[in-house]
A and B are shown apart, each in its own frame.
Chain A
């Protein structure tokens, strides 16, 4: 994956332990997501100095501080824009973007749509708990109609966004949904998302045990059905993926909804990067080229 100095020794989960322990509430779904990311990186053996974890703001956005890779804890909703800049400047880096549903689908909704249509080669993991946690429990863009929160105490009257359908419509080339209660399955999806050459979207049900009393582990467990168990389902079929994305209620599918590999990622489509990462290009404009720029003006 990456050039530069390679690690002599095998990367282990211990190598990926961050400087501080996670500060999430006991039982938070985000623990499972962090562990799955660490396991996926170990299984793929990507040197941790070539990985950048980039987040916005929120409970789940604290994740870069809890993993021993390069990290950027940016602004609320802006992680995807920052990550696009990082990837375009050095496309040899593995870029992971993590955040929550408010960060990604609310304040960051514009960047979400445009990063998908650009097919930037990164994995975007949304820890979707259908609530604003760090601000102590308000309605989020994925909160269901009727859900009571501090900001909508008489129940939410706004329809939620469907992240999977939205991603499919916006042109994401890899779309999946995981559940933090199923580590093994989630780890597999993260590995696939990292290896996919293009934009990978992974929406993860990550229950908030403090503020969301509707979408709990108990609520999810009987409803979740793996797409892989449906032999009629084909993740290369966009319309089939779209149909599955609309399922909600007694049956909620998780797994890979869609993947296509025939669209070049943004950095691969840009001829300026033919000779390698932007970071390694000669900073100076060659003298004859510069002279040409001036002569155009004379």
Chain B
């Protein structure tokens, strides 16, 4: 079993959970440790309860795991909620002046800090947090220098006095732990690896910058707002126009407008905003102007649970906008993939001139992961497809596409081709003047819908657009099966559940139940035949997803007639933990049920 260590910091919003979290993350990643962070919080700016779990270790850590090794409750509420979940070997560091420990399991070390004796709490309001960090790091076997360096960076802007004050408080906690508390048996090692720690939202924004996105706009909506924040903060350095728009209807239409004028354009939202965008997606498809839209799913329906995760927007996305049109839908598998997927999606939508939808969720959007910096590749391929751009003042064009060719008025924007792809001239190119229309049109763009509607022309144009689907299918890779075909159980998931299912498979294998995993990244096109091939001969198949109705299970059945032996679903707002899946698999293999809905034991 691989070595991991999870520290959880909990308190009311506004109590300063984030800062120690950031500092722990920095210290772990600089030791060459992998890490995954998940913050359970509520839609409240002050108060409520938040619990940040940072799990780290020398091998890749992909999810929040099952156990907390060190709990740092910043208030009584956190102590009451979580102490009882700690298992033997865990520890709890708390402010003995203000918080009382309750009953704890055998082997749980209670570490009370006499905060008012160790620090001047009249001067330092967050002294308990800093003391706990110092004490915790000592118990993890990490030298004080790493904490001092991180604190210096954190408080640099506030001046030397503040730095010295905080380093002193941290030192007091560190030394107190050395004399009073038992250190954890396995100190956290150092490795030569280097990690960049980022959220899925940051990763998608950076992936957009790497893809050559020049226009980004959004309306703030949790949990997608992080994309806007990164874009806005880095826009000038990256040369990106970033706008905050009046609503998501404006967002999608502005995105399409910029894309139509020839730049790569992207926007992000959550389910509610995506609902407002759906008419616009139809326009993107009809006028064949490519855009990439990110939906960071949260628990619905309606306003739902804005700060909680769910995989509940799949059918909204499959059905977004009326009529039939080519679309591409993909769900990133982890935070590194949030980066990688965006340039891939842009190359596809530029080539096939249709909307591309990225189905992310809160778990990835707001979670953080230590990623190999090499996986954040800004030198990725940019393929603009068959686009004709105007020349700039120097007779060149920065986007690298072919120069305009004189066509003597014969240019047809929607020219019938075998592939269904028609060369796309953008406004400003001489000799290629045309009007695009959301009404059905002929090859030259002239409407057929208003007068003399012509069924032959309508059919031909419909078939031209839909011919692109075959090309998209050929361009998108087929899924692969991880693990043996003849495993005792094959777990099927999509998108963000990759890491947790992977770990559940490892745990099952260790217990003597062989497990394999099929994780779907490309949802449209799905490659149904390939999936059936991979599942042929599987001994027991279970679909794992974060929603009530089995949205993926129903989609897979509609495309392939495949029905799994069982389902594991969760729709309480919180992500799966590995043991949820392991226990459910065991009860299903024992024939107890075909549908497991694990209970989330942590009250957050």
Contact = CB atoms under 8 A, between A and B. Distances in A.
Q: Do A and B bind each other?
A: yes
Interface of A: 2-5, 7, 18-20, 23, 47-50, 52-54, 57, 62, 64-65, 68-75, 78, 81-90, 92-93, 110-111, 113-114, 270-273, 276-285, 287, 289-290, 292-294, 297-298
A110 B246 contact: yes
A84 B254 contact: yes
**Residue from A20, A65, A88, A89 having most chain B Cβ neighbours under 10 A:** A89
Interface of B: 29-30, 194-198, 202, 206, 209-210, 212, 214-215, 217, 234-241, 243, 245-247, 249-250, 253-265, 279-280, 283, 287, 373, 376, 378-379, 382, 389-393, 397-400, 404, 426-439, 444-447, 450-451
Given A78-B253, A298-B373, A271 B236 contact: yes
Closest 3 CB pairs of A and B: A85-B257, A71-B435, A283-B212
B444 A19 contact: yes
B378 A88 contact: no
Given A88-B258, A285-B239, A289-B238, A71 B389 contact: no
Contacts of A283: 212, 214, 264, 382, 398-400
Contact of A85 (B209, B255, B430): B255
B288 to A, nearest CB: 12
Contact of A75 (B215, B283, B397): B283
Contacts of A68: 433
A71 B436 contact: yes
Contact of A88 (B237, B243, B436): B243
Contacts, number: 238
A272 B450 contact: no
Contacts of A89: 214-215, 241, 257-263, 265
A85 B215 contact: yes
6 contacts: A2-B428, A70-B434, A78-B249, A278-B263, A283-B264, A298-B29
A64 B379 CA distance: 40
B439 A279 contact: no
Nearest to B246: A114
Given A84-B257, A279-B389, A70 B435 contact: yes
A85 B260 contact: yes
Contacts of B392: 3-4, 276-277, 279-280
Nearest to A83: B257
Contact of A74 (B214, B241, B283, B400): B283
A270 B391 CA distance: 22
A290 B450 CA distance: 50
A292 B243 CA distance: 23
B212 A90 contact: no
A176 B261 CA distance: 28
A285 B238 contact: yes
Given A81-B257, A294-B373, 18 more contacts: A52-B261, A71-B434, A72-B287, A73-B437, A73-B439, A81-B245, A81-B249, A82-B256, A84-B257, A85-B254, A113-B246, A114-B246, A272-B239, A278-B241, A279-B262, A279-B397, A281-B239, A285-B239
A52 B427 contact: yes
Contacts of A7: 430
Contact of B437 (A4, A65, A92): A65
A78 B282 CA distance: 13
A86 B261 contact: yes
Contacts of A273: 241
B450 to A, nearest CB: 6
B235 A272 contact: yes
B128 to A, nearest CB: 28
B433 A48 contact: yes
A92 B262 CA distance: 13
Nearest to B378: A290
Nearest to B262: A279
Contacts of B217: 85
A5 B209 contact: no
B126 to A, nearest CB: 24
Given A114-B246, A297-B198, A270 B241 contact: yes
Given A64-B435, A82-B254, A290 B283 contact: no
A272 B236 contact: yes
Contacts of B254: 81-82, 84-85, 88
A298 B438 contact: no
Contacts of A92: 428
Contacts of B451: 23
Nearest to B211: A283
A258 to B, nearest CB: 23
B393 A3 contact: yes
B431 A49 contact: yes
B326 to A, nearest CB: 19
Contacts of A289: 237-238
Nearest to A292: B237
Contact of B241 (A20, A52, A272): A272
Contacts of A277: 392
Nearest to B432: A49
A284 B213 CA distance: 9
Contacts of A54: 257
Contacts of B429: 49
A65 B435 CA distance: 6
B253 A85 contact: yes
Contact of A81 (B206, B250, B390, B444): B250
A75 B29 CA distance: 49
Nearest to B279: A75
Contact of B446 (A48, A65, A88, A278): A65
A145 to B, nearest CB: 29
Contacts of A75: 253, 279-280, 283, 438
A290 B398 CA distance: 18
Given A85-B254, A92-B428, A73 B239 contact: no
